Amino acid sequence: TQLLEQSPQFLSIQEGENLTVYCNSSSVFSSLQWYRQEPGEGPVLLVTVVTGGEVKKLKRLTFQFGDARKDSSLHITAAQPGDTGLYLCASGGSNYKLTFGKGTLLTVNP
Amino acid sequence: DSGVTQTPKHLITATGQRVTLRCSPRSGDLSVYWYQQSLDQGLQFLIQYYNGEERAKGNILERFSAQQFPDLHSELNLSSLELGDSALYFCASSAFKNTEAFFGQGTRLTVV
């Protein structure tokens, strides 16, 4: 079973600051997904990265996949209160299992 | 709206009881996943079905069982409920195995 470690576990910042959260594994990811979850709601898919070294941008969010496909990062520029939520990374292996990390709980204060 | 429907949204029941949670996947999706989420454990994978067949099993208790029906909807049965089973239960669907998953809004189960 592939274990995904996310860091930091908690992050509280002020509006306008930049931040980076990380997702790491000891195994190679076949692909990696990032989700955001708001309280009481289901996770919502943000992006999927597949190729080592890949960089994807979604407005103020930048997702990077490590060259060795063992790590990924999510960078948010000029964070806003609406970015508050639990950020989860997930990956599936050769089996059908889709495994999630424990997430980074981000709070952006106005 | 993800297109995945879960019912009921809230469920309160007593210890020892049995409940059934229902999930309708997005139209055309063949895979259904079930997850349990509690504050201290994060999103725990329970079980996955693909086109009616069980394909992957996580840390699912023997008291829990699931199935996917020919119309692709799925049900998660939880029996002999304990206080520790109180959690959010999510269903997700995807087109194929390990592709992007779309989550329902969850069922909040409270065992009293």
Assess contact for A8 and A104: CB atoms under 8 A. Answer: yes
Query: What is the bridge-based pairing of β-strands A85-92 and B10-13?
Result: unpaired
Question: Nearest by CB to A97, which of B58, B92, B102?
Answer: B58
Query: What pLDDT is recorded for position A93?
Result: 65
* Phi, psi values for residue A17, rounded to 5°: -80, 160
**In whole angstroms, how far apart are CA B39 and each of A14, B5, B36, B70, B106?**
25, 23, 10, 34, 15
Query: Are the C-beta atoms of B67 and B60 separated by less than 8 Å?
Result: no
Residues contacting B33, CB < 8 A, separation 6+: A98, B45, B46, B47, B48, B91, B92, B93, B94, B101
Length of chain B: 112
Partner-chain residue, chosen from A41, A44, A96, that has the shortest CB–CB distance to B98? A96
Q: In A, which residues are within 8 Å of B58 by CB distance?
A: 97
Q: Which residues of B touch A101 (CB under 8 A)?
A: 42
> Once rounded to an integer, what is the mean pLDDT over residues B14-19?
98
In this complex, do B97 and A33 lie within 8 Å of one another by their Cβ atoms?
Answer: no
Residue in chain A closest to B31 (alpha carbons) equals A96
Q: What is the pLDDT of residues A5-27, one digit of tens each?
A: 999 999 999 999 999 999 999 88
Neighbours of B52 (CB within 10 A): 14
All residues of chain B having their beta carbon less than 8 Å from the beta carbon of residue A100 are: 35, 42-43, 45
Amino acid at A106: L
pLDDT at A1: 60
pLDDT tens sequence across A39-97? 889 999 999 998 999 999 999 999 999 999 999 999 999 999 999 999 999 987 666 77
- Lowest average pLDDT, out of A34-38, A69-73, A78-82, B55-59, goes to B55-59
Query: Under 8 Å CB-to-CB from B27, ≥6 apart: which residues?
Result: B3
- What's the confidence (pLDDT) of residue A27? 86
Q: Write out pLDDT tens, residues B73-93.
A: 999 999 999 999 999 999 999
Residue B112 Cα, gap to closest chain A Cα (Å): 20
Per-residue pLDDT, B26: 96
* Least CB–CB distance from A96: residue in B4, B55, B108: B55
Q: Give A-chain residues touching B108 at CB under 8 angstroms.
A: 40
**What pLDDT score was predicted for residue A95?**
67
